[in-house]
């Protein structure tokens, strides 16, 4: 089960690259480089996406390897991901926010 959970965390991180790094598609239902709060945030969003990917991938690999540091790293990655989703918020991101919340809650349960 540890392998599956770790691979899920890694995959969740990689999704950020697939969504935020490609050039924007004019036919897309929303612009991932636009914030309803701050306008054009393409560079910041790309940076956060890369950070979330790296941190979540490390956390997932730490989980697979049963490293002592996987919990704080994974929680940090999920928090960075949540910040990115809130910054570029649209209703499509509600599922991502739910996934991040579940990752945080489940990771913190392992700590205690």
- Reported as a single tens digit per residue, the pLDDT across 80-94 is 999 999 999 999 999
Q: Are 13 and 100 in contact (CB under 8 A)?
A: no
Domain annotation covers residue 84? yes
Domain annotation covers residue 27? no
Look at strands 39-40 and 34-35 and give their pairing.
antiparallel
Rounded to the nearest angstrom, the gap between the alpha carbon of residue 75 and the centroid of all alpha carbons in its chain is 10
Please return the burial class of 19, using the count of CB atoms within 10 Å of its CB with bins 0-12, 13-18 and 19+: middle
Mean pLDDT of 19-35: 89
pLDDT level of residue 112 (50, 70, 90 thresholds): low
Q: How many domains does the chain have?
A: 1
Domain annotation covers residue 28? no
- Domain containing 14: what range? 2-20+33-111
Q: Whole-model pTM?
A: 0.94
């Amino acid at each position: 089960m540890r392998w599956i959970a770790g691979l899920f965390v890694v995959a969740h991180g990689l999704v950020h690259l697939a969504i935020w790094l490609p050039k924007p598609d004019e036919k897309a239902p929303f612009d991932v480089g636009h914030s309803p709060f701050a306008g054009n945030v393409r560079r910041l969003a790309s940076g956060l996406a890369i950070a979330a990917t790296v941190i979540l991938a490390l956390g997932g690999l730490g989980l697979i390897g049963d490293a002592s540091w996987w919990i704080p790293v994974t929680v940090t990655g999920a928090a960075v991901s949540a910040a990115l989703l809130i910054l570029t918020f649209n209703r499509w991101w509600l599922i991502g926010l739910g996934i991040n919340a579940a990752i945080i809650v489940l990771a913190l349960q392992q700590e205690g």
